[in-house]
Amino acid sequence: MNDLTQPGMPRTAVDPMLPLTLAGVGFAHRGQHLLHDIDLRLGAGRTLIMGPNGAGKSLLMRLCHGLLTPTSGTIRWNGRVPNPPLALRQAMVFQRPVLLKRSALANLTYVLAIRGCPRRQRKARAQAALERFGLAQLAQRPAPVLSGGEQQRLALARAWLLAPDVLFLDEPTSALDPAAIRAVEEAVDHFHHSGTKIVMTTHDLNQARRLADDVVFLNAGRLLEHSPAERFFAAPESSEAAAFVRGELPW
């Protein structure tokens, strides 16, 4: 199997994944309702999911990515129910990326191998990805000893090799210094400009202002607002979102 397209060239044009639509999606665990009746339609561009701690942002992303199954409602990708081929066209980067205890380079050649990339192409493609994300000098360094920012970029380089149509990022910069945050934001830009749909959570209002095309605002497991970013920041509809934008809702 050689399932990889060239990184930076999502297959959206030939076989669109989007829109992603959620209808009446809920998630309950041990009788506790954590997400309630979410209706949402996401098209292209950068969607930032915002809201206070415990609002359900990560849960919502995990449901969209297929790591969890809704206990009510439906999720559709351009009308299709989630299935393994559609899952392969998505990637997710976590706040603390899960990396192999091998070199940075080996983390990348491994993912190429399991996606069926011919052995002779793996090293060059992995090195190109390391270069793109500013990690070329660190190719032989074991991934566990990389700094937080470097690990994040390695996780992004790995996702880049998968050429995802959709990339989910769960608080990818929360523990990083300003230079590392900028590097991750540039990396997100690479994806965006190559046509990858971005769905990302952040607690950083300034980052959301820099990156967002549209904002999904959650509070206590409910979707209170989904608006173009400009409108969300200038004139939020709900009192909760207005307080949040003023920095008054607790994180």
- Which residues are at the interface with ligand ATP (CB under 6 A)? 29, 34, 51, 53-59
Give the shortest CB-205-to-ligand ATP separation in angstroms.
13
Question: What distance in Å separates the CA atoms of residue 44 and residue 47, rounded to the nearest whole number?
Answer: 8
Give the shortest CB-67-to-ligand ATP separation in angstroms.
9
Closer residue to ligand ATP (CB): 65 or 125 = 65
DSSP code for 101:
S
Closer residue to ligand ATP (CB): 5 or 95 = 95
Closer residue to ligand ATP (CB): 160 or 244 = 244
Closer residue to ligand ATP (CB): 6 or 53 = 53
Burial bucket for residue 66 (CB in 10 Å: 0-12, 13-18, 19+): middle
Give the shortest CB-59-to-ligand ATP separation in angstroms.
3
Question: What distance in Å separates the CA atoms of residue 173 and residue 194, rounded to the nearest whole number?
Answer: 21
For the residues of 201-249, what is the DSSP string, one character each? E-S-HHHHHHH-SEEEEEETTEEEEEEEHHHHHHS-SSHHHHHHHTT-S
Closer residue to ligand ATP (CB): 63 or 129 = 63
Tokens representing 114?
A: 């399991």
Looking up tokens 């050429």 gives 163
Give the shortest CB-66-to-ligand ATP separation in angstroms.
14
Give the shortest CB-170-to-ligand ATP separation in angstroms.
7
Question: What distance in Å separates the CA atoms of residue 229 and residue 122, rounded to the nearest whole number?
Answer: 39
